Structure 1
């Protein structure tokens, strides 16, 4: 079985798993319908093994965004909300208004360093937006970043010159850029979970 080595205090960073991303008419078509199940399973493994979990929430400053504060879409999805506070390890809530969880409140980098955390796993939404940006910045800051690709998803997107890419194409481009560029190790949920469980059993 695939397995990724996980430190005893490796953090799980759950990025923007919010109800507003369910509004398909706003975002368009998504990929990876199994992402939510994979995200939930990672949270369960991290909480069961006593590892730290960081829940990140995007408080969009855009008045029409489904993620704006005061709107129901700003809330975490139910499966995330019901898991908050259930672990035996440290837990942190970070709120942000930009793509990177490292530019949020409280300061994620400062918290990681205070907790002695040097490795973290990224899961959440969107693959090529806030999840990727958080991973890239983590790599720049010197962390060992693990990107659980199938525990993320994104949406079709239009760009310049009339170019348009489907969600799965964008997700693969993120994986290639992060892994090939040395920002993060891109792996599966199964590999991450197996490494975390094995590490806990060896304690």
Structure 2
């Protein structure tokens, strides 16, 4: 299973080797604040993330945990608030990289790119939240930097959106549309089963 994104090929079958990293984005307690975010799709995301981590930790690939510390005053992602803490299903272990960001892309204002290059990482397997925001932005940025990228669709989630005309887009619609926009142009779209079954 090969997909050309930028100049780097991503092969799911060797994703857990030393040249690859599993990147989990913004899976923090904040995502459970339904009063702030509203409807979320994919209630099984946490289970799929746990499956991915259990599989990945058995190989030689890197694990990168991206956390968001918002500068928005009322955001549940603000540093120092309970919402800024990692969810239990993705709690980093010793030796796993933690990257703190303040904007949508995990590459802006961080040392993520230089760390990945220094460790010989050319391929990324990405999961987390929100599909329409930090996941999409980070994936596009990674592809523009010539990383091979795969997005694990059932290990991502997003929230419902209301546009300026008052039309409400359900969370699952937003999720599927954003994955469709990434597929082929910026990333290969995979499932947890696809990733795990190759190991």
TM-score (norm 2): 0.89
Match of 1:144 among 127, 145, 148: 148
1:52 CA drift (Å): 0.3
1:175 Cα offset (Å): 1.1
Query: Secondary structure of 1:191's match?
Result: helix
Query: Which stretch shows the higher mean deviation, 23-32 or 186-195?
Result: 186-195
For 1:200, the equivalent position in structure 2 comes to none
1:84 equivalenced with 2:98 (yes/no): no
Cα shift at 1:4: 3.2
Q: As a proportion of its length, which structure holds more helix?
A: 1
1:168 maps to: 172
Aligned length: 187
Structure 1, residues 46-88: CA drift from partner, whole Å, max 9, x if none?
Answer: 111132000011000011000101100000012222x522xxx
- How far does residue 178 in structure 1 lie from its aligned partner after superposition? 0.4
Corresponding residue for 1:188? 191
- Is the 8 Å Cα contact of residues 13 and 56 (structure 1) preserved in structure 2? yes
Q: Which runs of 4+ in 1 moved over 6 A?
A: none
Post-superposition offset of 1:104: 4.1
Q: Is the 8 A contact 2:23 2:64 kept in 1?
A: yes
Query: Distance between the aligned counterparts of 2:104 and 2:195, measured in 1?
Result: 24
Using structure 1 for the length normalisation, give the TM-score: 0.88
1:26 aligns with 2:36: yes
Matching of residue 101 in structure 1 with residue 106 in structure 2: yes
Give the gaps of 5 or more residues in structure 1.
198-203
